[in-house]
């Protein structure tokens, strides 16, 4: 079942990095460094699209904490919620959720840091495997 965990963390890493990249580009556009006509920025101008990206990042991060243990006699699923990964998870998810309650550039900054924490979870888990 390592393949399931590897695939899940790889997909999650891509989604979290995409979220991080989008928010960095929005901040750069807000500062006037980039044009806001970039496709990745325009695609998530709609708050629903933005919320879908953040919620998918939260969902994938939560799913990546599931540890699948399958052997011939015992089939069980357990959460790997201990140590540094759990602290990083709590901070990252808290920042992502808090981004819904602040507006403008501050929301993007919360998502940037939240996405960085989530990216680091997936990177750590991929390095472990």
For 58-69, the pLDDT digits (tens) are 888 888 877 666
Residues 35, 98: Cα–Cα separation, whole Å: 27
pLDDT for position 2: 63
User: Which has more confidence, 101 or 60?
Assistant: 101
Q: Is the pLDDT of residue 76 over 70?
A: no
Residues 90, 65: Cα–Cα separation, whole Å: 12
Residues 42, 36: Cα–Cα separation, whole Å: 7
Residues 12, 5: Cα–Cα separation, whole Å: 10
Q: Are 14 and 116 in contact (CB under 8 A)?
A: no
93 pLDDT band, cuts 50/70/90, is: very high
**What's phi and psi for 33, nearest 5 deg?**
-80, -35
Q: For residue 129, how many other CB atoms are within 10 A of its CB? A: 9
pLDDT for position 74: 59
């Amino acid at each position: 079942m390592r393949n399931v965990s590897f695939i899940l963390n790889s997909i999650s890493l891509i989604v979290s990095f995409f979220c991080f990249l989008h928010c960095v580009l929005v901040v750069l556009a807000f500062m006037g460094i980039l044009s806001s006509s970039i496709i990745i920025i325009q695609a998530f101008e709609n708050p629903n699209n933005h919320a879908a990206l953040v919620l998918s990042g939260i969902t994938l991060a939560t799913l990546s904490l599931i540890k699948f243990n399958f052997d011939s006699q015992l089939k069980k699923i357990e959460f790997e919620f201990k140590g540094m990964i759990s602290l990083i998870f709590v901070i990252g998810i808290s920042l992502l959720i808090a981004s819904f309650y602040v507006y403008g550039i501050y929301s993007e900054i919360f998502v940037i840091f939240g996405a960085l924490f989530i990216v680091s979870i997936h990177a750590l888990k991929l390095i472990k495997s």
